[in-house]
Amino acid sequence: MRKIFLIVMVIFTTQVTLAQVKKINGFVSDAAGTPIPGANVNVKGEANGATTDFDGKFSIEVKPGATLVISYLGYETRNMEVGESSTINVKLNSADSTVLTEVVVTSLGIKKSKKSLTYSAQELKGEDLVRAKDPNLMNTIAGKIAGVAVTKSAGGTGGSTKVTIRGNSSTTNNNPLYVVDGVPMLNISSIQPNDSFGSTQGGNRDGGDVIGLLNPDDFEGMTVLKGASATALYGSQGARGVILLTSKKAKEGVSSFRASSNTTVETAAYLPKFQTSYIAKPGADESWGAAQSTPDHTRDFFDTGVTQISSFGFSTGSQNSATNISYANTSSNGVLPTNSLSKNNFSIRQMGKFFGDRLTVNANANYTSQYVTNRPTSGLYFNPLTGLYLMPRGYDFNEYKNNFEKFDPARNMMVQNWMTDRDIEQNPYWGLNRNKSKDGSQYMNGAVGLNYKVNNWLSIGSRYNYDRITSEFDKEIYATTQGTLSHPNGRYININDVSTQNYGDLIATINTKFSDDLTFFANVGTSFTKTSLNDETVLDSDPSGLGITNWFTLHNFNSNTGNYQNYGYRREQQSVFAAATFGYKNMLYIDVTGRNDWSSTLANTGNMSFFYPSAGVTALLSEMFTMPESISFAKVRASYAQVGNDVPAFYTSPTSAYTAANPQNINPTVGPRPGTNLKPESQDSYELGTEWRFVNNRFGIELTYYNNKTKDQLLTIPAPATNAEGYQNYAYNGGVIKNNGIEILVNAKIIDNDKFKWDATLNYSKNNNEVSGLPEELGGTVILTQPGVNSYRYSLINGRPFGVIEGINLKKDAQGRVLLNEDGSIQKTDFEEVGNANPDYMLGLNNSFKLGNYFLNFTIDGRFGGDVMSLTEAVNDQFGVSKATGDARAAGGVDINAVYAPGTTKAGQAYAGKYNAESYYSQVGGRAGITGEYVYSATNVSLRELAFGYTFDLKNSKIFKAANLSVVGRNLFFFYKDAPFDPNISLSTGNGLQGIDVYAAPSTRSIGLNLNVTF
């Protein structure tokens, strides 16, 4: 009986003891509410303990009444007694460096302590992306990130944006990888021009990009990973840098509804200068006639554009779930008449926690539709600006505006009304109304993710993401459009592109301690990416034309010669990767990573596998040594990495390809050179950096030096016509591109008190670039943009930077005098280097002021050095419409320091008097002229962004949580500019067609109002 009693008592005591143990979920933050990762949570007097994750959260099993000791280096330790509640929120006070607790989003969406990073990673807050909105969110980061060049497209609203990180490093692709919430997104453009003359299939048009379709209000921040060490876990996908976007997430226990409205008006800025004093000769289509005053009709052509961006978002969160829903609408009427855009964004994001918060499920869906009418084109074909600028002076432009078409009784229809049949110009209003184009894009994205917390130190997660982008281009070209562009009965073009990407991964995350002094954080995972890009279906009635005039349907095509379908790009990449960070006493960190990729584009090479390692070390000097009180934080870091870039699809498995330009030749466009195996580009990179902060973090400076060498560049040469494989071109590896440079980031809280605050950030970057190792059989040169009949080409040349502008120069003697032929005509050179498209260095200055409820923010963006060429100015000169030609005539001719060339009867004799203006500009100007005379410095300093506003005091409101109203502006003016156009505009986001202006739509200056309200 006593034994039974004892057994019962033991069971009862055990049950009571077990019942007294409870699970505590907690959150540790600093005084501002920022999560503190890696904080120690120990039970006083026991060995039991836990560590906060990168969201500042922890869980621990303790007895009621026990005392938790929460500590972190640089913060005051707090003791918290466990009561009845199962949740504990702890704020640690600190007078020391807050940089010790800053968290940054890194590769694969993994949060890491910023102090531990062994590489450069620069962040922007969500407000930096929406303060002065642009329909393409990437345009808003110009001047804000060191080492990142942002160039806006000439495609107007809805156009793509060229982003280059630490210089160009590849002959195939220099665009960064975009990542949303750790998952690589499909960022593709259906078409990018690479022809200075202009495509006859709709003109040089920009197909836009996917990143420009996203809603900037959906994101709480951006992180830019610049170097190979930072991007090594993305393998070949991240070889050119990575831009990480982090979506907004609902906060626990908070429901909110936000609305924003941004309305801006745009005006055309930086137009060419025209003469108004001379008209055309009777019957001529160039303006080299008699002196007569004539109005400048060009400025009245452009409209005042209006862009309206409205965004709405709802979020709500609880302990176990969170929901985010958003909608945005963008509507715009451009400065070009008839140009308009309509975009709609829908997004939903859901998070749920299950099984005591061990399992977290995330799911999201996004859909964007965008339609653009008469997207601006560049080049000489299908471009209303050529007719606008070149119209012979002396004609009444309004007559052609109001009567762009007239009735032709012979054809019993309306036909184009214009005074010339030059192939490069039409009546601008005929082009806008009777060559109308429509671009449509639909982007769909869906993702689901699971994360299971196995225990306090191990979690396993898996994600799947699907992207799909469809693009359609539709152009109806009416009869009597210029004959180079259209059949006499008209022409119809319809092009559809489809691109998809499937991504999935499985990642295990380990976050633990080996001892109080040694921490360990690691990721081990595998992923796959399956991509299909630009599967294209083309319907084009050219060259056979339409059977019935102006009936735009496939049934009316005279033949199917211009109709075809092509596969675009196919690639599947399978990967395994691992990363580990060892921390010692929160003062020394060592990073190692490794990734192995298997790529389908390397089929038939004998080796589809390639491995990328990286290693780095960070030392916190301010934790190792006793520093002066004025030094808040000091860090040095170093890293080394290898990354690469696999070859494009179908290079190692050539397939037949059809083009309307040469329908009889369906041989593969390119294949491997006999006797060679193609291999990925390989980049070796090392980076050194240091970061210091002073006077309680009020002043800070970060310095970075990097050195990258990318070898095994992919090159192509024409294949012999008799080659057995039938390839049109051979591909092989060769050439090296080197980049090295420095980046400096300085930030300061210049004034910081309750009434007035002034924060400033200055970023500086300088990149040195050199191409070498191009084969002698190519003459040490690779042409990226062919010249055709134009005196411009864009090339890679041994010993020179990436992107040499080549043109034709005046031929001169040793004394710099222009050489003349016997008849007095001007001698000229062959193609030679006339400029370089790369800036010597870039500078960005961001200022933020706050006085009471008023705020002022502005960004100054500067690019120094580099060159640009203007074929627009050259052709305007040839046609006698430019201000320069008017001034020359008024001055009696062109002053020219010239002598007759050796071999002429007047050899060595100086040219007497002034050179006839028409003769001079007919030789020097024009698309095939002496373009070296049309090269300008690309140096410019601009006020890129401005916001001045007021934040309303709503602390007593029961409806509104926050509201502000501001005046905003973008691209307001240049402090300095040499070029006759905006040198920050690019005709293409590809590798070619850089540093050139060919009748691009003028850049715009915008100003408006921005209203943000949160309920």
- What one-character DSSP code corresponds to residue 1001? P
Identify whether 308 is part of a domain.
no
DSSP for 344-395, written as a single string: EEEEEEEEEEETTTTEEEEEEEEEEEEEEES---BSSSS-HHHHHHHSPBTB
In this prediction, what percent of the chain has a pLDDT beyond 70?
96
Distance from C-alpha of 457 to C-alpha of 108, rounded to nearest angstrom: 19
Q: Predicted confidence band at 3 (pLDDT cuts at 50, 70, 90)?
A: very low
Task: Give me the mean pLDDT over the 110-118 stretch.
Answer: 86
Q: Give the model's pLDDT for residue 96.
A: 46
Identify whether 13 is part of a domain.
yes
Distances (CA, A) of 242 to 191, 208, 723: 22, 19, 41
Identify whether 178 is part of a domain.
no
Give the tens place of pLDDT for each residue, 363-414.
999 999 999 999 999 999 999 999 999 999 999 999 999 999 999 999 999 9
Q: Predicted confidence band at 94 (pLDDT cuts at 50, 70, 90)?
A: low
List the domain range (segments joined by +) for residue 86.
2-95
Query: Is the pLDDT assigned to residue 590 strictly greater than 80?
Result: yes
Q: Where are the beta strands (DSSP E) in 697-755?
A: 699-711, 714-718, 729-733, 736-752
Distance from C-alpha of 878 to C-alpha of 931, rounded to nearest angstrom: 12
Identify whether 474 is part of a domain.
no
Tokens representing 133 are 């909105």
Q: Predicted confidence band at 74 (pLDDT cuts at 50, 70, 90)?
A: low
Distance from C-alpha of 980 to C-alpha of 933, rounded to nearest angstrom: 13
Question: What does pLDDT average to over the chain?
Answer: 91
Q: Give the model's pLDDT for residue 342.
A: 97
Tokens representing 837 are 């498209």
Query: Comparing 51-55, 286-290, 564-568, which segment has the lowest mean pLDDT?
Result: 51-55
Identify whether 56 is part of a domain.
yes
- Residue 76 and residue 30 in contact, taking contact as beta carbons nearer than 8 Å: no
Do the bridges between strand 940-951 and strand 962-977 make them parallel or antiparallel, or are there none, so unpaired? antiparallel
Tokens representing 680 are 């990925």
Distance from C-alpha of 639 to C-alpha of 116, rounded to nearest angstrom: 12
Distance from C-alpha of 738 to C-alpha of 793, rounded to nearest angstrom: 22
Q: Give the model's pLDDT for residue 769.
A: 95
- In single-letter form, the type of residue at position 710 comes to T
Look at the block and give the residue holding tokens 């001047």: 143
Task: Give me the mean pLDDT over the 982-1010 stretch.
Answer: 93
Which of 1005, 1007, 1006, 1008 shows the shortest CA–CA distance to 270? 1005
Look at the block and give the residue holding tokens 């004609």: 395
Tokens representing 943 are 């006020």
The pTM is what? Answer: 0.89
Identify whether 712 is part of a domain.
no
Which of 167, 267, 332 shows the shortest CA–CA distance to 738? 167
- CATH number of the domain that 70 lies in? 2.60.40.1120
Distance from C-alpha of 267 to C-alpha of 280, rounded to nearest angstrom: 30
Count of other CB atoms within 10 angstroms of residue 562: 22
Query: Is the pLDDT assigned to residue 513 strictly greater than 70?
Result: yes
Q: Give the model's pLDDT for residue 86.
A: 81
- Residue 428 and residue 374 in contact, taking contact as beta carbons nearer than 8 Å: no
- Residue 561 and residue 660 in contact, taking contact as beta carbons nearer than 8 Å: yes
Measured in whole angstroms, the distance separating CA 589 from the mean position of its chain's CA atoms is 32
Q: Estimate the share of the chain in helix, then strand, then coil, as percent rounded to the nearest 5.
A: 10, 50, 40
Distance from C-alpha of 9 to C-alpha of 102, rounded to nearest angstrom: 52
Query: Is residue 832 classed as helix, strand or coil in its secondary structure?
Result: strand
Domain count, the chain: 1
Identify whether 47 is part of a domain.
yes
Query: Is the pLDDT assigned to residue 994 strictly greater than 60?
Result: yes
Identify whether 908 is part of a domain.
no
Q: Predicted confidence band at 19 (pLDDT cuts at 50, 70, 90)?
A: very low
Which residues, other chains included, contact 283 with Cβ-Cβ below 8 Å and sequence gap of 6+? none
- In single-letter form, the type of residue at position 87 comes to T
Distance from C-alpha of 9 to C-alpha of 855, rounded to nearest angstrom: 70
Which residues, other chains included, contact 254 with Cβ-Cβ below 8 Å and sequence gap of 6+? 315, 316, 317
Instruction: Give yes or no for a cis peptide into 543 (omega within 30° of 0).
Output: yes
